[in-house]
């Protein structure tokens, strides 16, 4: 028997606080100590940063942990003496503004001449972005990086590269990688973005194939998700039953966000009940709460796709889609959507229409395949199905 806690005792309060630190449903991981799994991808990134003239592109679905991966990699490389800078693109960015932002993160020292004959020189700290003129070219960027690096290795991480709208701007990044590999082999550029393949991020990738290492971020394995859960639980000095961990891992569908959310909420339920062991029942109770706490945009998309369509069958169809066997990119066909006595094809077509909230993305004409536009919707739909008794826990699979 685990010892009973007392309500409001420091023991209980400390554990509650530890839970909010250990589980990060809403923010990327920025510390090595909270980071789970991803050994291969991290190893690939370190390899790239270490090899002369190599660069990387990290790509995958939304929410799989790309930002977390590069934050932790940057932390580790920085501690090892590599000069690192990270920036995030937004829709208004172009080639030059991205580099200004990235270099704006780096401070470096310039020596200014003194005043008058005997004036002593003085060292001034300036942001490296001041090195870039307007209309910066890849060569200007190379020169800027060279100046700040001063012989050290540099690694620049450009996140949400998919949001950089201009094809010309992306092309300039490809050119930059080419220029850097030839002329500044100690510099590494890591482009990060939402995409199914590298082509979607940089159409010109073939011309820089040798210099560009492709790092795909798949969804997390069940083992990695289980590690996220048990790691957080242990940090709060709690324990968790095996079936509770498994259920969370299955509901999360490879997306660590839900492992954090359900891990945290289940553990709070146990503490509320003055226990230090988290049980399956705590997870079941957490599901109802997690449904409420799911991002507004996810809930809104679901609501538009189901209730607003005025046909009760839509919610059943969407659940069957969430349960459908899919390929590694999340695509399934109408045959994978198992609903007895219903031909789902017209429903799937409708769910891909903007007038129905564009819940699904459709690809192909003759034999269309579909997937959830926002991967975070799938676990949400499963949690609803579970809470409403429309799906048995055993039916959940990855």
Ligand X SMILES: Nc1ncnc2c1ncn2[C@@H]1O[C@H](COP(=O)(O)OP(=O)(O)O)[C@@H](O)[C@H]1O
Which chain residues interact with Mg ion by CB under 5 A? 67
Is 86 or 153 the residue whose CB approaches Mg ion more closely? 86
Between CA 362 and CA 35 the distance in angstroms is 34
Residue 363's SS3 state is strand
Cβ proximity to Mg ion, 61 vs 186, nearer residue = 61
Which of Mg ion, ligand X, none interacts with 35 (beta carbon under 5 to 8 A by kind)?
ligand X
The residue of the chain with the least Cβ separation from ligand X equals: 65
Contact of residue 193 among Mg ion, ligand X, none (CB under 5-8 Å per partner type): none
Binding map of ligand X across residues 238-277, x = CB under 6 A, - = no contact: ------------------xx--x-----------------
CB of 375 to ligand X, least distance (A): 9
Residue that is written with structure tokens 């800027």 in the block: 144
Dig out the tokens for 232 from the structure.
């957080």
Residue nearest to Mg ion (CB): 67
Residues 6+ apart with CB under 8 A from 96: 132, 134, 135, 136
Q: Provide the token pair at 243.
A: 């079936």
Between residues 64 and 158, which has the closer beta carbon with respect to ligand X? Answer: 64
The distance of closest approach from Cβ of residue 198 to ligand X in the complex, given in angstroms and rounded to an integer, is: 16
Q: Which is nearer to Mg ion, 58 or 244 (CB)?
A: 58
Q: Is 36 in the site for ligand X (CB under 6 A)?
A: yes
Give the number of C-alpha atoms closer than 13 A to the C-alpha of residue 217, restricted to the C-beta side.
28
Strand boundaries in 266-351, DSSP class E: 277-278
DSSP H helices in the chain? 10-22, 39-50, 66-79, 95-104, 138-149, 167-183, 198-201, 222-235, 242-252, 256-272, 280-293, 296-305, 313-323, 345-351, 377-387
Given Mg ion, ligand X, none, residue 228, with its beta carbon under 5 to 8 Å by kind, binds: ligand X
Q: Which is nearer to ligand X, 37 or 138 (CB)?
A: 37
Distance CA 229, CA 222 (A): 11
DSSP structure class, residue 366: S
266 binds, among Mg ion, ligand X, none (CB under 5 to 8 A by kind): none
User: Does residue 86 touch ligand X according to CB under 6 A?
Assistant: no
Report the residue from 18, 19, 24, 145 that binds ligand X according to the rule CB under 6 A. 24
Smallest distance, ligand X to C-beta of residue 30, A: 9
Sheet holding 154-159, edge to edge: 83-88, 154-159, 187-194, 55-60, 212-217
Rg (CA), the chain: 25
- Position among 19, 64, 131, 180 found at the interface with ligand X (CB under 6 A): 64
Binding to ligand X by residue 193, rule CB under 6 A?
A: no
* 19, 49, 67, 381: residue in contact with ligand X (rule CB under 6 A): 67
Nearest to 323 by CA among 374, 250, 387, 261: 250
25 binds ligand X (CB under 6 A): yes
Give the footprint of ligand X on residues 200-229 (CB under 6 A).
228
Place of tokens 């839900």: 258
Q: Which long-range contacts (CB under 8 A, 24 or more apart) does 357-365 make?
A: 357/301, 357/304, 357/305, 357/308, 358/301, 359/301, 359/302, 359/304, 359/305, 359/318, 360/321, 363/331
Q: Which segment (61-69, 132-140, 147-155, 297-305) binds ligand X by CB under 6 A?
A: 61-69
Region from 23-31, 263-271, 335-343, 385-393 binding ligand X, contact rule CB under 6 A: 23-31
Say whether 371 sits in a helix, a strand or coil.
strand
**Smallest distance from Mg ion to CB 67, Å:** 3
- Cβ count near 387 (within 10 Å): 16
Q: Is 87 in the site for ligand X (CB under 6 A)?
A: no
Chain residues in the site for ligand X (CB under 6 A) = 24-25, 27-29, 35-38, 62-68, 228, 256-257, 260
């Amino acid at each position: 028997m685990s010892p009973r806690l007392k309500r409001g005792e420091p023991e209980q309060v400390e554990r509650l606080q530890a839970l909010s630190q250990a589980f990060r449903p809403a923010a990327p991981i920025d510390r090595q100590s909270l980071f789970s799994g991803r050994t291969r991808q991290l190893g690939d990134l370190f390899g790239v940063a270490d090899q002369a003239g190599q660069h990387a592109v990290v790509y995958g679905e939304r929410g799989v942990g790309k930002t977390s991966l590069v934050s932790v990699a940057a932390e580790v490389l920085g501690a090892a003496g590599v000069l690192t800078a990270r920036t995030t693109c937004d829709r208004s960015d172009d080639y030059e503004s991205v580099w200004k932002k990235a270099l704006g993160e780096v401070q470096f020292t310039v020596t200014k001449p003194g005043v008058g004959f005997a004036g002593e020189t003085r060292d001034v700290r300036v942001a490296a972005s001041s090195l870039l003129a307007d209309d910066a070219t890849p060569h200007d960027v190379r020169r800027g990086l060279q100046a700040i690096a001063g012989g050290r290795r540099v690694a620049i991480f450009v996140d949400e590269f998919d949001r950089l709208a201009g094809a010309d701007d992306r092309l300039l990044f490809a050119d930059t990688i080419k220029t850097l590999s030839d002329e500044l082999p100690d510099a590494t550029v890591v482009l990060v973005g939402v995409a199914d393949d590298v082509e979607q991020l940089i159409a010109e990738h073939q011309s820089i194939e040798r210099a560009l290492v492709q790092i795909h971020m798949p969804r997390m394995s069940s083992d990695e998700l289980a590690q996220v859960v048990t790691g957080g639980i242990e940090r709060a000095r709690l324990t968790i039953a095996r079936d509770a961990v498994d259920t969370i891992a299955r509901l999360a569908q490879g997306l660590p966000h839900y492992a954090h959310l359900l891990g945290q909420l289940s553990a709070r339920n146990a503490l509320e009940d003055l226990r230090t062991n988290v049980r399956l029942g705590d997870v079941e109770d957490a599901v109802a709460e997690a449904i409420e706490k799911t991002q507004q945009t996810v809930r809104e998309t679901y609501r538009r796709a189901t209730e607003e369509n005025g046909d009760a069958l839509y919610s059943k169809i969407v659940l069957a889609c969430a349960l459908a066997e899919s390929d590694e990119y999340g695509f399934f066909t109408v045959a994978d959507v198992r609903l007895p006595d219903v031909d789902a094809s017209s429903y799937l077509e409708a769910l891909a229409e903007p007038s129905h909230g564009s819940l699904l993305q459709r690809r192909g004409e003759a034999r269309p395949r579909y997937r959830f536009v926002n991967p975070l919707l799938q676990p949400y739909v499963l949690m609803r199905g579970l809470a409403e008794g429309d799906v048995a826990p055993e039916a959940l699979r990855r």
